[in-house]
Structure 1
Amino acid sequence: MYLVIGATGNVGSQVVEQLLASGRKVRVFTRDASKVAHWGNRVEVAVGDLTSPETFAKAASGVEGIFLMNGALDGEVFRQLIASAKAEGNPRVVFLSTLFAGFENSPIGRLHKDKEDVIRASGLSGRFIRAGAFMTNAFQWIGSVCAEGVVYNATGAGKVAPVAPEDLAAVAVHALTDASLTSEVFEVTGGELLTVPEQVEILAKATGKPIRSVDVPTEAAVQGMIDAGTPAPVAAAVGQSFELVREGKTAVVKDTIRQVTGRPPKTFQSWAKEHAARFA
């Protein structure tokens, strides 16, 4: 039995699907059982909240492995979660982290690295999926694309290698289930370096509609997030990540997907074609 946290998210839902496809039993942890009802009796459902270690402990009881995300969770609460999982057995924990965990001057990286270290200190077997930029980050552009035909870009000509959620999930599933893997950290990116304007051009071709990329300063992007309801410290941390991208610090391609799964990563062009209707 494997416990999946974040089963309603882009990556977590793929982890569930791929575990089920491989014949594994799955338990999903959710605050709202109706959001996972589409799996029917294919999964067990544990209702609870990550801020309530008691409910998490019950969900973790008897499982072989746990897929865990939410690097922004309060540090003390996270420690309690890991302690409760340890008390319920000795599950392997696969934590969805970020490439920024390798950057000492990244607030978002520190949030995730601290969680990694909590898992390491617990004595549990931990494996850490340090993800690069998600292709699904492009969904944040839907509003401005549909209203204005514009993507506002705070990363300049900085490049990333966007990764598809199903590829991240595939690495996570292998990390959960394959005892022969010896790595503790899996740095996962897509296979091609792209700027935001290049991603926008690909998206425009996929949708068949004109879409422009407009550069904006980091400060404006941060203020936009705050205006949209993002807490100011979180928005500031994201802004600093934009700066790292702008400075070229994230222009790396890792071959982890091919090494772990035996197949190449999905291209952004393929992903854009699959999801073009959402930008129409």
Structure 2
Amino acid sequence: MYVVMGATGHVGGSVARALLAAGEAVTVVTRSAAKAEVWRHKGAEAAVVDVQDTPALTALFQKAERAFVLNPPASPALNTDVEERRTVQAILKALQGAALEKIVLQSTYGAQPGAHSGDLGVLYEFEEGARQLQTPLCVVRAAYYMSNWTFGLDAVRTSGVLETFLPASQKVPMVAPQDSGAVAAQLVRAPVSETGVYAVEGPEWYSPADVADVLGEVLNKSVRVASLPKNEWLAAYRRNGFSDDAAQSYAHMTEIFVTQAYDVPPAPLKGPTDLKTYFQQALTE
């Protein structure tokens, strides 16, 4: 049996669906009884568990052969640096109490040491903690998710403006969540000897201007880019419900992303889903 965390999200859901389609026995982890029931109708087992309930999570991992793990995002209204590290430690402790054949861990491009750099620092610590378990490990580092652009769709629809922290013409690696999930699902089922770090991005790099053009085409309206200068980033995060601590951390992560102050993988895996296909699918779901 394979345990899949985050199945109610884009990536974990893709992993669970791919494993079920391959005929594997899957148990998804969720905090929602209603969402658990949805997955049972799809053919999976479902465990209603809070990831900070280490004994319950340990018991679940002890029944599994392999696991796909990710760290759930904390509410931005809280101190995300503290909250997300708390869940990382709870998951690692639960994994330590199991005897899994293999772990596949979802991470991100740019994961690096840093106490206040959003997901980059948190997921780096997650990776390092998992390596210390001495269990065969695959780390999937995903590029910027195309799904992140959907959070601003209401504003785009009403105003025709796509707000971004990136310069309008700066191209960056992006990936459809389902493509990252497909790679993770393959690695979960792959031989135990298949380990290491796997970078995943889409078929090409895109800029915010490219995103605006594609959205304009899909939505059948004119869309323009509004790039926020660095001195407005904190206010923008706070305006969107981030606490002061979270805003500071995410602004630092944004600076790392915009300046590309991280190692770009030399030979990433290329997912098949381009930006237009992603939006066409996402907007009809």
Give the TM interval when normalised to the shorter protein: 0.7 to 0.9
1:191 alignment partner, one of 203, 212, 233: 203
AA aligned to 1:65 is R
Structure 2 counterparts to residues 158-197 of structure 1, below 5 A: 158-179=170-191, 182-197=194-209
Residue 247 of structure 1 corresponds to: 259
1:29 Cα deviation from its structure 2 partner: 0.8
3-state SS of 1:107 partner? coil
Equivalent residues, number: 273
Equivalent position of 2:55 in the other structure: 54
Task: Give 1:145 deviation, angstroms.
Answer: 0.9
> How far did residue 273 of structure 1 move?
2.1
Aligned-residue RMSD, C-alpha: 2.5
User: Structure 2 stretches of 5 or more lacking a match?
Assistant: 74-82
The answer to whether 1:227 aligns with 2:239 is yes
**CA 1:68 to 1:221, structure 2 compared with 1: closer, same or farther past 3 Å?**
same
> Does residue 6 of the first structure (1) align with residue 6 of the second (2)?
yes
Counterpart of 1:203, as a letter, is L
**Partner of 2:96 in structure 1?**
86
Mapping for residues 42-191 of structure 1, pairs under 5 Å: 42-70=43-71, 74-75=84-85, 77-102=87-112, 107-108=117-118, 109-156=120-167, 157-179=169-191, 182-191=194-203
TM-score of the two chains, using structure 1 as the length reference: 0.87
How far does the alpha carbon of each residue in 1:230-271 deviate from its partner, in whole angstroms, 9 at most, with x for none?
23333323222332343355795765435xxxxx52111211
Alignment-mate amino acid for residue 175 of structure 1: L
Stretch of structure 1 that moved more, 47-56 or 238-247: 238-247
Change (3 A) 1:170 1:208: same
1:267 — aligned with what?
274
**Contact kept? 1:158, 1:245, Cα under 8 Å:** no
* Deviation (angstroms), 1:103: 7.2
Instruction: Note if contact 1:187-1:254 (Cα within 8 Å) is conserved in structure 2.
Output: no
Structure with greater helix percent:
1
Specify the SS of the correspondent of 2:198. Answer: strand
Normalized against structure 2, the TM-score is what?
0.86
The alpha-carbon deviation at position 189 of structure 1 amounts to: 1.2
Q: After the TM superposition, which of the residue ranges 240-249 and 21-30 deviates more from structure 2?
A: 240-249
Separation in 2 of the partners of 1:160 and 1:152? Answer: 16
Structure 1: distance between partners of 2:25 and 2:251: 40
Matching residue's letter, 1:224: A
Cα displacement string for residues 155-202 of structure 1 (whole angstroms, at most 9, x for unaligned residues): 113321210111101110111110166341111111211111111111
Q: 196-205 vs 84-93, which deviates more?
A: 84-93
Moved over 3 A (4+): 71-77, 102-106, 180-183, 248-258
CA-CA distance at 1:54 after TM superposition: 1.4
Report percent identity of matched pairs: 23
Q: Which amino acid aligns with 2:111?
A: A
Contact 1:26/1:44, CA 8 A, preserved across alignment: yes
- Secondary structure, aligned partner of 1:101: coil
**Are residues 252 and 158 of structure 1, via their aligned partners in 2, closer, same or farther at CA, if it must alter by over 3 Å?**
farther
Verify the 8 A CA contact 1:161 1:251 in the aligned structure 2.
no
Superposition deviation, residue 229 in structure 1: 1.9
Q: How far apart, CA to CA, are the structure 2 residues paired with 1:7 and 1:52? A: 18
Alignment partners' CA distance in 2, 1:105 and 1:75 = 10
Structure 1 residues 11-62: Cα deviation after superposition (integer angstroms, max 9, x where no partner) = 1111110000011110011111201322335111111111111121122122
Asked if the contact 2:30/2:49 (under 8 Å) is kept, the reply is: yes
* Cα 1:22–1:220 shift into 2, 3 Å: same
Amino acid at match of 2:250: V
Question: Quick one: which amino acid aligns to residue 173 of structure 1?
Answer: A
Range with greater deviation from structure 2 (248-257 or 87-96):
248-257
- State the Cα distance separating 1:74 from its structure 2 match: 4.2
Distance in 2 (CA, whole Å) between partners of 1:105 and 1:80 is 18
Local SS of the residue matching 1:235: helix
Q: Which moved more, 1:221-230 or 1:205-214?
A: 221-230
Please give the alpha-carbon distance, in whole angstroms, between the structure 2 residues aligned to 1:244 and 1:104: 11
Letter of the 1:92 counterpart: K
Q: What 5-or-longer segments of structure 1 have no aligned partner?
A: 259-263
